[in-house]
Amino acid sequence: MESRAPDESGISGAEESPGRLSLPAQIFMALAVAVVLGFTAWHLATVFLYVSPPNTVSKQHKETIDGYVLPEFEQNWKLFAPNPLQQNIDVQARAEVQKKDGSTEQTPWVNLSAQDAEAIKHNPAPSHTEQNELRRAWDYFINSHDEKNRPNGVRGELSEQYLKRIVMLRFGPVLNDGKVQSIQLRAEVTPLAAPDWSADKRSTQSSYRQLGWWQVTTADLQKGDRETWSSWEGSGQ
Amino acid sequence: MSANATNVTRVEHAVTRAVERVTRQALGPYQTAVVRIGFALTWLLFLLREFPHRHELYGPDSPWSRGLAEQLLQLNDAFTVLMWSDSDAFFEIVYGLAVLASLALMLGWRTRTMSVLFMIGVLSLQNRSVFMGDGGDNVIHLVAIYLVLTRCGQVWSLDARRRARTAPDAPPRDAVGVWLWSVLGFGLLAATLLGHLSWGWALIFYGLWLAQAVWWMVQRLWPGEPRTVCDQLANLVHNAGLLIIMVQVVFVYATAGWYKVQGTLWQDGTALHYPLHLDYFTPWPALSDTLGGSGTMVMIITYGTVIVQVAFPFTLFNRRIKNVLLALMIIEHASIAVILGLPFFSLAMIAADAVFLPTVFLMWIGGWTVAGRDRLIGRRRRAAEPAALKAPRQSAPADVESGTPLR
């Protein structure tokens, strides 16, 4: 309370306020204020340009802005914007497994996203492993690949290995009494129906985006699964 | 001539007053404290909830394997201590320390130090596996960094309680603090010698570490002007940090709102219908169906969301309307927690909103909490008292005769 009084009594009061700094200290503080204000302004302006739509200034200084904001100040607040997602994306996988007798067999498609949805249902606090892991891994794949599922650069390749490891974590090394040799992924994209009262009568027909077969290697397996997986091969001979 | 001189003095005074305003006080003590408690609590609850899944999310054998993480980190240069070792034990220690740092920060125990450890914990886990996170993690990530700048333990903290118990001008006798500082200094040195720290992060961590030492020394050795200067510097940085947090929250709402304005579904009032039918965000399908069943209701909430988000930054200039909108936003986030199954995201957003809550309200909540606590403890004490009196009566009856009178 007493610290506030001099401020409200005006300029003369401020001058008489106790704890007045010496001139060098005053100059130092003024410089500190300038530096901190400058940095604050820089930070806020840069972050603003990062979250705003691409514009004259942000296009000109894209490298500086990204260089400062990424990775630690990265942000994406286009929550459900400009339009919310209007489709359920079910990531599904199947495997080609080698039986003990040496024959190979293809498993039916397994809907991994449906397993996530089942885990989320009636769960007040779904885990990131259920709500984000596969969903975001697929997003990452789509964003780092072209229409023909070809990776664009290192990030694309990383996303393929990531998806493989997620699928193999869920399948395990042995499926349907056979060693998992290769896997294939697809996404079943089902548009959500427009609400009943809407004039918009969109089709809810599912479409598929199917990837090629991927060979499984030990790198795609959990450490604990590698032994089981490798030794399976020997016993088959 | 004289008019000129007056103008110069006036400018001088204006500058002096502006400097004083941002250096004399660490503004918003209750607001920064509630942000600290809110975010530390959110991250603590998240870490405890994910404890069974910690290996899958951030461990060495996560589907986002150490090798994958290493390659991405080389591209984006993000900070994480989890790449320093591939041992399981190291991971467990980091996870454990992240839990403890959250708890200590929430309680305000050695607040500044814990805010740094909290930030290290958040960055280490999140940057280890970036694709596991969502918007909630993102806002925690940002605020964890910003909180380091603030004096967020001025109130509602164990630090504040300790300060209140010691004489105001007595030099701090904080053996635990010195010990903590030494241990962390040793850890910092070890990390440097092992070559784990980049130049930038080394500068930040050594700067923070030395600042603690300087603060301790000016308090003991130079209680005059050096102490005042340091105190004002800390206020200045705190106020900048507080401003950054506030503007960051404004950015979140402004971005979320303005991008929605452009969406056709937000325009025709049906946008809300869609998230209510996404399998990943409908933990309670019956609830989602009920809410999404009425076209009018969906339209009102859809429009309401956009209006509140777009308007919020401008209402900050009007206290009363700001508070109304703040209440609406907190209610909306609480609903999102349940309906979309995003409790940690929602809790983080509510903690961020809290930076704009009025002091009177926060103090009322504080008083109410303290009263509740006292009533709880008082009841327990009253319940415990007869037992305490009974015990000596059995063992040493003579004591009871001369014992304290019953209250």
pLDDT per residue as tens digits for the range A81-138: 899 999 999 999 999 999 989 899 999 999 999 999 999 999 999 999 999 999 999 9
**What is the predicted pLDDT for the residue at A54?**
95
Contacts of B22 (CB under 8 A, 6+ apart): A33, B235, B236, B239
Average pLDDT over residues B240-252: 98
Higher-pLDDT residue of A15 and A189 is: A189
What is the pairing mode between strands A110-111 and A174-175? Answer: unpaired
Contact A126, B279 (CB under 8 A): no
Interface of A with B in 201-220 (CB under 8 A): 219
Within-domain flag for A75 = no
pLDDT per residue as tens digits for the range B151-175: 999 999 999 999 898 876 676 678 8
- Regarding whether A137 and A55 lie in a shared domain, the answer is no
pLDDT band at B317 (very low <50, low <70, confident <90, very high): very high
**What is the predicted pLDDT for the residue at B338?**
97
Contacts of B193 (CB under 8 A, 6+ apart): none
Residue whose tokens read 């004083």 = B20
Q: Provide the residue count of chain B.
A: 407
Would the CB atoms of A124 and B56 count as touching at under 8 Å? no
Q: Which residues on B lie below 8 Å from A83 (Cβ)?
A: 263-266, 271
**What is the predicted pLDDT for the residue at A6?**
36
Helix axes A23-51, B2-24, angle to 10 degrees: 70
Task: Give residue B258's Cα distance to chain centre.
Answer: 27
Higher-pLDDT residue of B168 and A77 is: A77
- Regarding whether A168 and A102 lie in a shared domain, the answer is yes
A170 near B CB under 8 A? no
- Regarding whether A172 and A199 lie in a shared domain, the answer is yes
Of A184, A185, A186, A190, nearest in space to A207 by CA: A190
Greatest extent of chain A over all pairs of C-alpha atoms, in Å = 97
B285 near A CB under 8 A? yes
Interface test with A, best of B280, B288, B294, B299 (most A CBs within 10 A): B280
Size of interface A-B (CB pairs under 8 A): 228
Of A165, A179, A167, nearest in space to A228 by CA: A179
- Regarding whether A124 and A175 lie in a shared domain, the answer is yes
pTM: predicted TM-score of the whole model, two decimal places: 0.91
Number of structural domains chain A divides into: 2
Would the CB atoms of A125 and B21 count as touching at under 8 Å? no
Q: Domain boundary at A69, A104, A120, which? A: A69
- Whether B370 shows a pLDDT value over 80: the answer reads yes
- Regarding whether A65 and A100 lie in a shared domain, the answer is no
Of A52, A62, A44, nearest in space to B255 by CA: A52
Cβ density class B311-334: b for 16+ within 10 Å, e for less? ebbebeeeeeebeebbeebbebbe
Contact A186, A211 (CB under 8 A): yes
- Regarding whether A195 and A112 lie in a shared domain, the answer is yes
Q: How far is B186 from chain A (nearest CA, A)?
A: 26
Cβ density class A96-111: b for 16+ within 10 Å, e for less? bbbeeeeeeeebebbe
- Whether B2 shows a pLDDT value over 90: the answer reads no
Interface of B with A in 153-212 (CB under 8 A): none
- Whether B198 shows a pLDDT value over 90: the answer reads yes
B83 near A CB under 8 A? no
Would the CB atoms of B134 and A128 count as touching at under 8 Å? yes
Average pLDDT over residues B1-9: 69
**What is the predicted pLDDT for the residue at B396?**
35
- Regarding whether A142 and A213 lie in a shared domain, the answer is yes
Q: How far is B1 from B225, CA to CA, in rounded Å?
A: 36
Q: Which residues on A lie below 8 Å from B132 (Cβ)?
A: 128-129, 132-133, 136
Q: How far is B370 from chain A (nearest CA, A)?
A: 23
B138 near A CB under 8 A? yes
Cβ-in-10-Å burial (0-12, 13-18, 19+) of B16 comes to middle
- Regarding whether A136 and A37 lie in a shared domain, the answer is no
Within-domain flag for A81 = no
Within-domain flag for A190 = yes
Residue type, B50: E
The DSSP line for B155-200 is SSSHHHHHHHHS-TTSPP--HHHHHHHHHHHHHHHHHHHTT---HH
Q: How far is A202 from chain B (nearest CA, A)?
A: 13
- Regarding whether A48 and A97 lie in a shared domain, the answer is no
- Regarding whether A122 and A32 lie in a shared domain, the answer is no
Q: Which residues on A lie below 8 Å from B342 (Cβ)?
A: 131
**What is the predicted pLDDT for the residue at B16?**
80
pLDDT band at B15 (very low <50, low <70, confident <90, very high): confident
Would the CB atoms of B49 and A127 count as touching at under 8 Å? yes
How many Cα atoms occupy the beta-carbon half-sphere of B289 within 13 Å? Answer: 3
- Find, in chain B, the residue whose alpha carbon is nearest to that of A66: B76
B200: number of Cβ within 10 Å:
10
**What is the predicted pLDDT for the residue at B11?**
84
A22 near B CB under 8 A? yes
Would the CB atoms of B64 and A25 count as touching at under 8 Å? no
Average pLDDT over residues B107-121: 97
Contacts of B316 (CB under 8 A, 6+ apart): B250, B322, B356
- Find, in chain B, the residue whose alpha carbon is nearest to that of A137: B131
Would the CB atoms of B271 and A83 count as touching at under 8 Å? yes
Interface of A with B in 105-134 (CB under 8 A): 113-114, 116-117, 120-129, 131-133
- Whether B226 shows a pLDDT value over 50: the answer reads yes
SS3 A209: strand
- Regarding whether A61 and A16 lie in a shared domain, the answer is yes
Domain span at A32:
5-69
Radius of gyration of chain B measured on its C-alpha atoms: 26
- Whether B390 shows a pLDDT value over 50: the answer reads no
Cβ-in-10-Å burial (0-12, 13-18, 19+) of A215 comes to exposed
- Find, in chain B, the residue whose alpha carbon is nearest to that of A9: B17
Q: How far is B310 from chain A (nearest CA, A)?
A: 13
Average pLDDT over residues A189-218: 93
Q: How far is B147 from chain A (nearest CA, A)?
A: 14
- Whether B395 shows a pLDDT value over 50: the answer reads no
Asked, as a colleague might, if the bond just before A71 is cis with ω within 30 of 0, I would say yes
Task: Give residue B7's Cα distance to chain centre.
Answer: 44
Of B258, B242, B244, nearest in space to B311 by CA: B258
Q: How far is A29 from chain B (nearest CA, A)?
A: 7
Dihedral-angle region of residue B384 (phi above 0 means left; psi in -120 to 50 means alpha; beta otherwise)? alpha
Higher-pLDDT residue of A58 and B403 is: A58
- Regarding whether A172 and A98 lie in a shared domain, the answer is yes
**What is the predicted pLDDT for the residue at A7?**
36
Residue whose tokens read 């809907």 = A111
Average pLDDT over residues B322-350: 97
Interface of B with A in 3-22 (CB under 8 A): 13, 15-22
Within-domain flag for A59 = yes
Interface test with A, best of B64, B76, B150, B333 (most A CBs within 10 A): B64
**Considering chain B, what is the average pLDDT of its residues?**
90
**What is the predicted pLDDT for the residue at B275?**
96
Q: How far is B367 from B27, CA to CA, in rounded Å?
A: 20
A86 near B CB under 8 A? yes
- What element of type H or E holds B362? helix B359-395
B51 near A CB under 8 A? no
Average pLDDT over residues B97-118: 98
pLDDT per residue as tens digits for the range B39-94: 999 999 999 999 999 999 999 989 999 999 999 999 999 999 999 999 999 999 99
Residue type, B368: W
Q: How far is B251 from B316, CA to CA, in rounded Å?
A: 13
